[in-house]
């Protein structure tokens, strides 16, 4: 499904419901959202009357593809009228209440800590042996050079997509780029590591094989070269394998 859904087959028309949502992306789970109140109209559409109506609630989360919802019901009382809330859309023809993206502003993923070296973040935890091999390749000296990196392997970041990392990583002002070991890195035969721009063109990426990471890390860290110089030098598959020898 493109959007997370939650179906409640016990809701009644004319009742008020309260939602507290957590967003999930892989094994990463946000903090509980602010509480959202939704008043269901007494009569959503004309049809044969029943004591219960099946009502589908859809919550579009900004932080991940899954959601965990809890619903609270109040007791009998006067028939409430729908609240005029721009983040809530009542759809009588579909018996649907849509909670729009941005409804839950306090949901967020764990911040990425500050590091001394260039950050290498692991976001795929399917294969420990491959992870160990990739780490060794990244940190192996290449002649007199090596990549000066700080590796973070934390399951809180499991499954996070590259675009989601930009706002988290840019909270550290002096961090201008980072490396990401994701699913593609782990499954590709050359284990190309993603390089994510956080400064001039936040969100722009390219990939680099581990044996060439020292050149990317050293030159971007010291500002000897710009991100685009490496990104524009990739091959057709988007992987940087070094500059052509002259």
Average pLDDT value over all residues in the chain? 74
Q: Is residue 123 predicted with pLDDT exceeding 90? A: yes
Q: Kindly report which listed range (93-107, 111-125, 133-147) carries the lowest average pLDDT score.
A: 93-107
Task: Kindly indicate the confidence band of residue 137, based on its pLDDT and cuts at 50, 70 and 90.
Answer: very high
pLDDT tier for residue 141 given thresholds of 50, 70 and 90: very high
pLDDT band at 32 (very low <50, low <70, confident <90, very high): low
SS3 for 24-51 is EECCEECCCCCCEEEECCCCCCCCCCCC
Most confident by average pLDDT, 32-41, 89-98, 129-138: 129-138
* Under 8 Å between Cβ of 131 and 153: yes
What whole-number distance in Å separates Cα of residue 76 and Cα of residue 62? 34
177-207 confidence digits (pLDDT tens): 999 999 999 999 999 999 999 999 999 999 9
What is the rounded average pLDDT of the residues 220-239?
96
SS (H, E, C) the chain: CCCCEEEECCCCCCCEEEEEEEEEECCEECCCCCCEEEECCCCCCCCCCCCCCCEEEEECCCCCCEEEEEEEECCCCCCCCCCCCCCEEEEHHHCEEEECCCCCCCCCCCCCCCCCCEEEEECCCCCHHHHHHHHHHHHCCECCECCCEEEECCHHHCCCCHHHHHHHHCCCCCCCEEEEECHHHHHCCCCCEEEEECCCCCCCEEEECHHHHHHHHHHHHCCCCCHHHHHCCCCCCCEECCCCCC
- Residue partners of 34: CB distance under 8 A and separation at least 6: 104, 105, 106
pLDDT of residue 122: 97
Question: What's the pLDDT at 132?
Answer: 97
User: What's the pLDDT at 10?
Assistant: 57
Q: What is the mean pLDDT of residues 205-217?
A: 98
Q: Which residue has the higher pLDDT, 134 or 106?
A: 134
pLDDT band at 220 (very low <50, low <70, confident <90, very high): very high
Q: Which domains does the chain have, with CATH numbers?
A: 5-99 (no CATH), 118-240 (3.40.50.800)
- Average pLDDT of 73-83? 42
Q: Report residue 124's pLDDT band, with 50, 70 and 90 as the boundaries.
A: very high
69 pLDDT band, cuts 50/70/90, is very low
Q: How far apart are CA 128 and CA 155, in angstroms?
A: 12
Picking from 67, 63, 62, 71, the residue whose alpha carbon sits closest to that of residue 35 is 71
Is the confidence at residue 83, as pLDDT, over 90?
no
Q: Is 0.85 topped by the overall pTM?
A: no
């Amino acid at each position: 499904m493109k959007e997370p859904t939650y179906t409640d087959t016990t809701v009644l028309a004319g009742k008020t419901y309260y939602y507290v949502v957590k967003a999930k992306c892989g094994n990463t789970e946000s903090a509980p959202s602010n509480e959202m109140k939704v008043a269901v109209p007494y009569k959503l559409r004309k049809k044969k009357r029943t004591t219960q109506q099946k009502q589908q609630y859809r919550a579009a989360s900004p932080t991940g593809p899954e959601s965990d919802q809890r619903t609270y019901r109040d007791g009998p009382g006067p028939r409430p009228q729908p609240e005029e809330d721009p983040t809530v859309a009542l759809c009588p023809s579909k018996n649907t209440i849509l909670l729009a993206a941005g409804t839950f502003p306090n949901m967020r993923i764990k911040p990425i800590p500050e590091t001394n070296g260039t950050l290498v973040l692991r976001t795929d935890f399917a294969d420990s042996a491959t992870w160990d091999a990739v780490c060794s390749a990244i940190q192996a000296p290449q002649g007199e050079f090596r990549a000066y990196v700080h590796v973070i392997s934390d399951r809180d970041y499991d499954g996070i997509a590259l675009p989601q990392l930009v706002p988290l990583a840019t909270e550290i002002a002096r961090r201008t780029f980072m490396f990401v070991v994701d699913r593609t890195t782990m499954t590709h035969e050359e284990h190309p590591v993603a390089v994510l721009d956080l400064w001039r063109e936040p969100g722009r990426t390219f990939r680099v094989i581990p044996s060439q990471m020292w050149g990317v890390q050293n030159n971007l860290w010291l500002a000897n070269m710009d991100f685009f110089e490496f990104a524009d030098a990739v091959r057709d598959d988007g992987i940087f394998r070094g500059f052509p020898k002259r």
